[in-house]
Amino acid sequence: MRYLILSDLHANLQAFEAVMKDAADIGYDQVLVLGDLVGYGADPGTVIDRTFALEPAAMIRGNHDKVCAGLEPATSFNDAARASAEWTASILSAEHLEQLRALPQGPQLVNSEIEICHGAPFDEDHYVFDDRDASRAADAASARICLFGHTHLPAVFATAQDPVLASDQVDDELRLPLSGAVLMNVGSVGQPRDGDPRAAYGLLDQTTSTIRLRRVEYDIRGAQEAILKAGLPPWLAIRLERGQ
């Protein structure tokens, strides 16, 4: 089984389309969505529609989904994030808002080997940045392989006894251990923050125990123009070209 992993799409239609084209060229069986369909970007309704049309095997909510749907206040958001959440909530249809409200809370088991969460298994809004956070997350996980998002930073955490190794088959492929906990963040489709502006996603092949961490060029200028045309904070457009 090969899973297409999408996280932190953030209403960036241009990035979403580029990722889906790249993934289709490689091939996949089922889709896993790790939350934050909306927020920041200018095409929340279309991204929601396109994501649901994929009929994901598992999909969970992110913090921006919750705030835009009115499930939580934006008290923890900065000014740009708050402005974008308010704008998103104002333009989404009642159906779209209900779809966001109905997204399940993570973590969610995909199967006996794989679990997905937005932030961490012990707290859907917690950021996993370092080894200490990863150790807590591994202890709280219900499956050996835990896929998470939220930070917008690609990352792989495993133990020295059960390492993740570079594959000698494909440049962007990693070989996972057959035992031992592994936590992985494939990065953000819609707003990468690791200095690389290309859209990020992953392909997890459970049969071969490998994951491909893909980066894809997309129409950043088009995404920026859409953000500015919508009247969203200009910083949300600027950061896309910087991968911030």
> 4-57: per-residue pLDDT in tens?
999 999 999 999 999 999 999 999 999 999 999 999 999 999 999 999 999 999
pLDDT, tens only, 92-116: 999 999 999 999 999 999 999 999 9
CATH architecture of 2-242: 4-Layer Sandwich (3.60)
Omega within 30 of 0 (cis) for the link into 192: no
CA torsion sign for 205, 208, 213, 219 is negative
SS (H, E, C) the chain: CEEEEECCCCCCHHHHHHHHHHHHHHCCCEEEECCCCCCCCCCHHHHHHHHHHCCCCEECCCHHHHHHCCCCCCCCCCHHHHHHHHHHHHHCCHHHHHHHHHCCCCCEECCCCEEECCCECCECCCCCCCHHHHHHHHHHCCCCEEECCCCCCCEEECCCCCCCEECCCCCCEEECCCCCCEEEECCCCCCCCCCCCCEEEEEEECCCCEEEEEEECCCHHHHHHHHHHCCCCHHHHHHHHHCC
How far, rounded to the nearest angstrom, does the alpha carbon of residue 88 sit from its chain's CA centroid?
18
CA distances from 80 to 76, 77, 91, 121 (A): 12, 8, 17, 27
Mean pLDDT of 51-65: 98
Q: Whole-prediction pTM value? A: 0.96
Domain ranges for the chain: 2-242
pLDDT for res 166: 83
Rounded (5°) CA angle 221-38-52: 105
Write the CB contacts of 42 (distance below 8 Å, at least 6 apart in sequence).
11, 13, 223, 226, 227, 229, 230, 232
pLDDT for res 178: 86
pLDDT, tens only, 148-162: 999 999 999 998 788
Mean pLDDT of 127-153: 95
Q: Is the pLDDT of residue 167 over 80?
A: no
